[in-house]
């Protein structure tokens, strides 16, 4: 049994309330999912959201979820771009004040953040009860669909910049929340990855079209809940926004067993329910699907999250074959790889990327380590080009002694290149083969120089 309320808002007031079931809710978090019909009128949309938040707070909601485009729905692409604000704009500032005023966490399920004069990003911003931004997720999967049978013709990529990373779940009073937006719902790899990182609640604030929502909305939400054994919270836009755009609505909360425990009626609406962490625990214990995954047969879903080194990294040393790398020289890392400055550079900006686990040959790495290593290389190479004003990169692996490897640890050389740096381009491989064996290709750098260079590179990996 779970405590669930459905609140129906007509204009500005609650006109109906049905209490579906009761239990003792002590030590159980109350959350609220919201539904609205946004237009191009920002002030009117904000007024609706204020009423939704006020109503949800009356039932002690600790986290309140608003839908995608809660700031506005533009009539066309030029208007959508023109109305976008930056992160310090008045709309987000107003929501920060609402979070503080009501002492509540707010999930702003998708607001338009200005990138430049031609582009916005679709941002899911999570505010804590002090009105501070806890997370700012940019939508990964953009809705480019031409579904003629349902009269759906949208190309979000024509004005929206896609996100580049899946954020780790955020700890909140209701549990660890994984952030997504709308079309992300159709990509289960992301939801499973968030669960593997510790998510208790997955969020899919949306403005589903009427045609796609009628066919797929509920099945997709319930599937994400069942396969991840997480609560799924899906705030939604509903009804006609303008003559070109109508949304499906049916905002809902689904429990880890796949049961719909709260759902909004038509119009501006709030549904409130409990997050029962004992149910989460029992569901996962009775059917431990993560433990049953056959990653010996199919790839595991690892999130490749590149970041600056941890605060205590500088005081540590990391084995690098028969030598050690000081943490002060590391400028980027993942869960199994590191990127660091070089003791002796063939060209300025010559850096190294290696797995954390010490193995001599590429064949000794497992598939996950290989994928992670080269994902980090993929991230580092263009940044090094930019930082050292390069136009190209030479990326090299010396795999084994007879290939020129002297450090008995798999590593990738990244060398930013410029026009004319080598008259004969292949000479760089000659210099690379002997760069750490004699002094003809440059000088050995001090630990202080390497640390200083790493410090300048770390801000690129925030």
Q: Which residues are catalytic?
A: 411
Q: What share of the chain is helix, strand, coil (3-state, %, to 5)?
A: 30, 30, 40
Q: Are 275 and 231 in contact (CB under 8 A)?
A: yes
C-alpha span between 141 and 30 (Å, rounded):
30
C-alpha span between 363 and 379 (Å, rounded):
22
CB neighbour list of residue 272: distance below 8 Å, 6 or more residues apart? 4, 5, 6, 7, 30, 31, 32, 33, 56, 59, 61, 262
Q: Is 342 annotated as a binding residue?
A: yes
Q: What DSSP element (H or E) covers 81? A: helix 77-82
Task: Identify which of 413, 322, 316, 317 has the alpha carbon closest to the alpha carbon of residue 359.
Answer: 322
Q: Are strands 231-234 and 201-203 parallel, antiparallel or unpaired?
A: parallel
Q: Are 373 and 450 in contact (CB under 8 A)?
A: no
Q: Is 268 annotated as a binding residue?
A: no
Q: What DSSP element (H or E) covers 279? A: helix 277-286
Q: Are strands 260-263 and 4-10 parallel, antiparallel or unpaired?
A: unpaired
Q: Are 253 and 221 in contact (CB under 8 A)?
A: no
Q: Is 360 annotated as a binding residue?
A: no
Task: Identify which of 283, 268, 266 has the alpha carbon closest to the alpha carbon of residue 232.
Answer: 283
List the end-to-end C-alpha distance of the chain, in Å, as a whole number.
43
Task: Identify which of 304, 325, 307 has the alpha carbon closest to the alpha carbon of residue 316.
Answer: 325
DSSP codes, 323-338: EEEEGGGEEEE-SSEE
Phi first, then psi: what are they for 106, rounded to 5°?
-125, 130
Task: Identify which of 346, 304, 316 has the alpha carbon closest to the alpha carbon of residue 461.
Answer: 304
Q: Between the CA of residue 2 and those of 105, 173, 198, 226, what are the distances in Å?
A: 22, 18, 23, 18
DSSP codes, 3-46: -EEEEEEETTEEEEEEEEE----TT-EEEEEEEE---S-HHHHH
Task: Identify which of 388, 381, 380 has the alpha carbon closest to the alpha carbon of residue 348.
Answer: 388
Task: Identify which of 354, 280, 276 has the alpha carbon closest to the alpha carbon of residue 321.
Answer: 354
Binding-site residues from annotation for substrate: 342, 398, 413
Binding-site residues from annotation: 342, 398, 413
């Amino acid at each position: 049994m779970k405590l669930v309320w459905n609140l129906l808002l007509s204009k500005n007031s609650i006109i109906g309330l049905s209490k579906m079931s009761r239990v003792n809710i002590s030590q159980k978090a109350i959350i609220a999912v919201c539904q609205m019909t946004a237009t191009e009128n920002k002030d009117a949309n904000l007024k609706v959201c204020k009423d939704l938040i006020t109503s949800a707070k009356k039932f002690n909601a600790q986290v309140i979820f608003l839908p995608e485009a809660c700031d506005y729905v533009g009539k066309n692409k030029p208007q959508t771009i023109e109305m976008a604000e930056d992160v310090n704009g008045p709309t987000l500032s107003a929501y920060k004040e609402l979070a503080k005023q009501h002492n509540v966490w707010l999930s702003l399920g998708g607001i338009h953040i200005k990138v430049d004069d031609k582009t916005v990003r679709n941002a899911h911003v999570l505010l804590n009860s002090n009105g501070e931004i806890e997370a700012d997720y940019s939508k990964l999967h953009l809705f480019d669909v031409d579904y003629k049978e349902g009269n759906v013709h949208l190309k979000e990529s024509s004005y929206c910049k896609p996100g580049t990373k899946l954020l780790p779940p955020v700890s909140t009073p209701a549990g660890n929340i994984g952030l997504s937006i709308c079309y992300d719902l159709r990509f289960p790899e992301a939801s499973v990855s968030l669960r593997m990182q510790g998510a208790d609640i997955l969020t899919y604030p949306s403005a589903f079209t009427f045609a796609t929502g009628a066919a797929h909305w509920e099945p997709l939400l319930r599937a994400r809940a069942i396969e991840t054994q997480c609560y799924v919270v899906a705030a939604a836009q509903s009804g006609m926004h303008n003559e070109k755009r109508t949304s499906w609505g049916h905002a809902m909360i689904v429990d880890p067993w796949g049961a719909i425990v709260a759902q909004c009626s038509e119009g501006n609406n709030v549904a409130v329910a409990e997050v029962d962490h004992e149910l989460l625990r029992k569901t996962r214990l009775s059917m431990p699907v993560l433990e049953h995954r056959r990653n010996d047969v199919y790839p595991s879903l690892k999130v490749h999250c590149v970041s600056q080194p941890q605060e205590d990294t500088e005081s540590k040393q990391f084995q690098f074959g028969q030598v050690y790398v000081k943490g002060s020289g590391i400028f980027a890392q993942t869960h199994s790889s590191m990127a660091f400055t070089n003791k002796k550079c063939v060209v300025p900006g010559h850096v190294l990327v290696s797995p954390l686990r010490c193995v001599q040959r590429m064949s000794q790495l497992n598939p996950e380590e290989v994928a992670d290593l080269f994902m980090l290389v993929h991230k580092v190479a263009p940044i090094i080009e930019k930082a050292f004003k390069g136009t190209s990169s030479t990326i090299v692996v010396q795999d084994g002694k007879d290939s020129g490897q002297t450090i008995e640890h798999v590593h990738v050389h990244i060398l930013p290149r410029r026009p004319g740096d080598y008259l004969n381009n292949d000479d760089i491989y000659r210099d690379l083969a002997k760069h750490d064996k004699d002094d003809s290709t440059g000088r050995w750098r001090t630990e202080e120089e390497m640390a200083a260079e790493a410090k300048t590179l770390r801000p690129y990996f925030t």
